[in-house]
Amino acid sequence: MASDTLRFVRKYWPLFLEFTITLVAQRIKAFTHRFTYHLLPTCKNVVVLGGSFSGAFLARRLGESLPSGYKVILIEKNSHFNFCFNFPRYSVVQGHEQNAFIPYDGLASGTPAGIFEIIRDTATGIRDEEVELASGKRIPFAYLAVATGALQPPPARLLSSEKNEACAELKALQDRIIGGKKIGIIGGGAVGVQLAGDIKSFYPDKHVVLIHSRDQLLPSFGVRLHKYVVDKLQDLGVELMLGERPAIPSTGDGTGTDLVFPDGRKETFDVIVPCIGQIPNSSILDGFSPSSISPQTRRILVESTLQLRNGEDPKSRELHNVFALGDVAETDGYRMARSGAMQAEVVRGNIIALINDKELEKYSPIAAEGGLKLSLGKDEYVMYVQDPDGTDFLIPGKSSKVDLEVEKGWKMFGAKFKKTSV
């Protein structure tokens, strides 16, 4: 493993150096921007739909760089930013759930007065250069970026848009796990793996079964990671059922439920937690540009510049001022927060390029965007990166923070951390 660390550093240090230089340059430009920007009475709107990772990154960077005469409006239904990386851990460990919800106010910190506006509402439609909201309001836009992400069942995503109610969802799952003896986790992606490892390491007396439809856990990554994770989960005592696809019943609170497997056998669990399924949240385009939605994946089709692609009909409307990014967009990139941040920077640059009649940049993903940091129980993690040529890097580590260093997430979004754990 030590050799992986050295190989990783040798290969990626130029990229880290370039990133550091770019970040410093961004900070300098953001600082000077506060003194050169002027809020005009007739500002045009750059609207961002969705305040998860991609949308939040984009809105903040636009607030740091839009020229005078433009302002950014972030439209988001949630009361707080959901730091969903930590949801699996906070579904198991009590007393930390409040820390997963970060105030949006910090996104505007350091930006010129008046350039940044957050509207808490739900977008219901797009037409005639306007976004229609559930409240009945219409928000005109000169440029629009769709970053509405994807829908997933709890605990990957939560149902409530209110912080207190979302915390209650996590607490309810904590209580179910504490009260259950045999717990079934369905889905061997990152959420399922982390949830299974956390339950077994914090509550070693539980019988935890991780059920996955394929023979490989984390199938979006290399076999080497699968083998490493299988060993760690088995060391913890997690039972693995690979290549199994049971019917998932609808049982309300998910307790006392039988799973029926394809061969007809049944197994009874006290708690069942589905960790499968990701549905792109692209319905906002159904009435605006339906040909921009992939019929196969339901993701939004985009050009290499991340502008909407609207099919082959030459009579289709011009969509040069509408972009899509993040999990909802059909790109060659990874479906990771890091990719969302990279795409956000491309969209930001291209909106400003359109304003200034400059050439647009193309998004070209790099392997580092697909890097994964996966917790494996309460005190271990593994980092994994795979290059397109199949070369991979697997770097294990130890973690001493039960809250998974959530304070870094608060800092990332400009918020002052308020520790509420018990």
Residue 139 in any domain: the answer is yes
Residue 351 in any domain: the answer is yes
Sign of CA dihedral 411, 416, 418, 419: positive
Residue 165 in any domain: the answer is no
User: Which CATH number covers residue 73?
Assistant: 3.50.50.60
Residue 421 in any domain: the answer is no
207 has pLDDT over 90: yes
Per the omega criterion (within 30 degrees of 0), is the bond before 155 cis?
Answer: yes
Task: Give per-residue pLDDT as tens, 231-242.
Answer: 999 999 999 999
* pLDDT at position 156: 93
Same domain, 283 and 269: no
Q: Which residues contact 345 (CB under 8 A, 6 or more apart)?
A: 57, 61
| Separation CA 53–CA 399 (nearest Å) | 24
Residue 418 in any domain: the answer is no
* pLDDT at position 16: 87
Determine phi and psi for 144, rounding to 5 degrees: -135, 135
Same domain, 31 and 132: yes
* pLDDT at position 255: 54
Confidence of residue 311 (pLDDT cuts 50, 70, 90): low
Task: Compute the average pLDDT of residues 84-90.
Answer: 97
313 has pLDDT over 80: no
Q: At what angle do helices 337-355 and 53-63 cross, to 10 degrees?
A: 40
* 385 SS3 class: strand
Same domain, 265 and 390: yes
**Distance between alpha carbon 315 and the CA centroid of its chain, in Å?**
35
Same domain, 137 and 239: no
Q: Which residues contact 273 (CB under 8 A, 6 or more apart)?
A: 91, 155, 173, 183, 184, 185, 186, 195, 254
28 has pLDDT over 90: yes
Confidence of residue 388 (pLDDT cuts 50, 70, 90): confident
Please state the domain count of the chain.
Answer: 2
Same domain, 149 and 235: no
**Distance between alpha carbon 203 and the CA centroid of its chain, in Å?**
28
Same domain, 326 and 232: no
Same domain, 283 and 304: yes
Check: CB of residue 34 under 8 Å from CB of residue 131.
Answer: no
Q: Mean pLDDT score of the chain, rounded to an integer?
A: 93
Task: Compute the average pLDDT of residues 332-348.
Answer: 93
Same domain, 245 and 202: yes
Task: Compute the average pLDDT of residues 195-202.
Answer: 98
Task: Compute the average pLDDT of residues 26-47.
Answer: 95
* pLDDT at position 310: 79
| Separation CA 100–CA 403 (nearest Å) | 9
* pLDDT at position 84: 95
How large a percentage of the chain has pLDDT more than 90?
85
* pLDDT at position 252: 47
296 has pLDDT over 60: yes
Task: Compute the average pLDDT of residues 212-222.
Answer: 96
Same domain, 222 and 84: no
Residue 211 in any domain: the answer is yes
- Judge if pTM exceeds 0.75: yes
Same domain, 376 and 351: no
Task: Give per-residue pLDDT as tens, 137-172.
Answer: 999 999 999 999 999 999 999 999 999 999 999 999
* pLDDT at position 317: 55
Confidence of residue 315 (pLDDT cuts 50, 70, 90): very low
73 has pLDDT over 60: yes
Residue 160 in any domain: the answer is no
Same domain, 301 and 270: no
Task: Compute the average pLDDT of residues 365-374.
Answer: 91
Q: Which residue, 375, 2, 28, 385, is CA-closest to 197?
A: 375
Domain that holds residue 328: 2-154+279-369
Task: Give per-residue pLDDT as tens, 246-285.
Answer: 988 765 445 568 899 999 999 999 999 999 888 999 999 9
Same domain, 34 and 109: yes
Burial profile 291-303: b = 16 or more Cβ within 10 angstroms, e = fewer: bbbeeeeebbbbb
Residue 170 in any domain: the answer is no
